[in-house]
Amino acid sequence: MHSTTRQAEALNLALSSPPTSYRGLIVGTDLLSGQLVTHDPFVAYEDKAISSVNAAVIGDVGKGKSSLLKTWACTRQLLLDDRRVVVLDKKLQGGVGEYTALARFLGSPSIRFTTDGKGSRLNLLDPVIALGSDQPDAADEDAGSGLSRPTGQMMLLRAVLTEALGRPVSEREGKALRLALVAATRGARERGRVPVIGDIVHHLLNPSAVDAEALHRRVRELQDWGLDPAFALERMIEEDLAGLVDAETSPEVHLDHDSGFTHFDISGLPLDGPALRVVMTLINTWQANMLAARSELHQQTVNVIEEGWHVAEGSVGAIFRRNTKLSRGLGLATIAGFHHISDLPVDSPARSLLQEAETIFIYGQGSLDDALACVELYNLPAGTEETIMALEQGTCLLKVGSRDPILLRHERSPREIALTDTDTALTGMSLRDAA
């Protein structure tokens, strides 16, 4: 009997449906059906498959998380028009961030932050961040604005000062800080420059008589309100954050490279102390305000965070979480990598980031407790913990929204395999040799 290919499809009753929509970027292969798996958070949001474009990648060291982040979350994203990628790179490889080789391949510079004063700077009082609030005096009102706009300078200053003091900022200290921010901004504008954190310290120690009179207080009393904040900020910018946030933003810090790729290398910052958390939060805040200012361009940005657990603690972590919640209005998808859910406190900003993500890649977990934590957090079918513990390198479970999880093998081209190699420090091979 003669037929056509289209008609004969009905005779194959075992033909399985595609695991994902055909719209999106190639991720890999469905291990059960052998079919191609494609996914893109922005496309899935447009198709009403998810309500959040944020994603999480979870798994033990050496299971393939970084390979997925460098390919699907970076290079493949750049194939799309008006798509930009920003990476916060904490993983050290060969004395620099692990994504340095990828930045070189794309022709993009690495923006490196170090504590020796030789790296890049991002001004805590950069005018871009002021976009979060129309006036410095009104910055505290952001807390009740329903997350309608990114963090302003006052909220960021409060978060950093809380880290410096090791306690919340009191009401009187907060008032002194607001007055100092207004005076610092006004004074710098009159001198034709941008304000820096040293200006805040100066005005905390030297409040104006006009401000004191408006509060019906003596200048000495107003100065007392600001002494602890001034000394704490001064110590922080001279020790923990020296050369990082205490001067004007370096010219190389921008999102406008022709490649669409921006690499923030924070691998040189110490794990101990507040420097890493503050700089990560400051980068996130600066970026969020920059994207808000460019909202009319309708550009989509992917924010990749290696070692996402670094945002787990402190008030700066809360600011990071707040900015992340604005992803819909900013066209921003945050994709973060984590080792174990159990490492994160229940009330931490990092765990909230995991809970709000609707695209989840779960790689192998060697511990039963860690595997069970994934099953519980994402409401996976009973017994999935055994599958998670048995996952080989390069394979994972992909869960998108409320859909059933997909057993996935991440596929890479030969060039991508070379670009994602993290063994050069051990093998002695350069990126060029590997390619």
User: What is the SS3 string spanning the chain?
Assistant: CCCCHHHHHHHCCCCCCCCCCCCCEEEEEECCCCCEEEECHHHHHHCCCCCCCCEEEECCCCCCHHHHHHHHHHHCHHHCCCEEEEEEECCEECCEECCHHHHHHHCCCEEECCCCCCCCCCCCCCCCHHHHCCCHHHHHHHHHCCCCCCCCHHHHHHHHHHHHHCCCCCHHHHHHHHHHHHHHHHHHHHCCCCCCHHHHHHHHHCCCHHHHHHCCCCHHHHHHHHHHHHHHHHHHHHCCCCCCCCCCCCCCCCCCCCCCEEEEECCCCCCCCCHHHHHHHHHHHHHHHHHHHCHHHCCEEEEEECCHHHHCCHHHHHHHHHHHCCHHHHCEEEEEEECCHHHCCCCCHHHHHHHHCCEEEECCCCCHHHHHHHHHHCCCCCCHHHHHHHCCCCEEEEEECCCCCEEEEECCCHHHHHHCCCCHHHHCCCHHHHC
Residue 159 domain-assigned (yes or no): yes
Report pLDDT for 16: 60
Where is the domain boundary, 238, 264, 281? 238
Residue 294 domain-assigned (yes or no): yes
Where is the domain boundary, 214, 238, 262? 238
Q: Do 272 and 392 fall within a single domain? A: yes
Q: Do 321 and 413 fall within a single domain? A: yes
Residue 70 domain-assigned (yes or no): yes
What CATH number corresponds to the domain at position 333?
3.40.50.300
Residue 196 domain-assigned (yes or no): yes
Residue 247 domain-assigned (yes or no): no
Q: Do 401 and 263 fall within a single domain? A: yes
Range of the domain at 177: 129-238
Residue 288 domain-assigned (yes or no): yes
Residue 243 domain-assigned (yes or no): no
Residue 72 domain-assigned (yes or no): yes
Q: Do 116 and 170 fall within a single domain? A: no
Q: Do 169 and 220 fall within a single domain? A: yes
Q: What is the pLDDT along the chain (435 residues), one digit of tens a residue?
A: 677 876 766 666 555 667 777 888 999 999 988 899 999 999 999 999 999 999 999 999 889 999 999 999 999 999 998 899 999 999 888 889 999 999 999 999 999 999 888 899 999 999 888 755 444 444 343 444 444 456 788 988 998 899 888 899 999 999 999 999 999 999 999 999 999 999 999 999 999 999 888 888 899 999 999 999 999 999 988 888 888 998 999 999 999 899 999 999 999 988 877 888 888 888 988 988 888 887 777 789 999 998 776 665 667 777 877 777 788 888 899 999 999 888 787 777 778 788 889 999 999 999 999 999 999 999 999 999 999 999 999 999 999 999 999 999 999 999 999 988 876 533 444 544 444
How many domains does the chain divide into?
A: 2
Q: Do 34 and 153 fall within a single domain? A: no
Q: Do 35 and 146 fall within a single domain? A: no
Q: Do 359 and 216 fall within a single domain? A: no
Q: Do 76 and 21 fall within a single domain? A: yes
Q: Do 43 and 164 fall within a single domain? A: no
Where is the domain boundary, 238, 272, 288? 238
Q: Do 193 and 158 fall within a single domain? A: yes
Q: Do 40 and 145 fall within a single domain? A: no
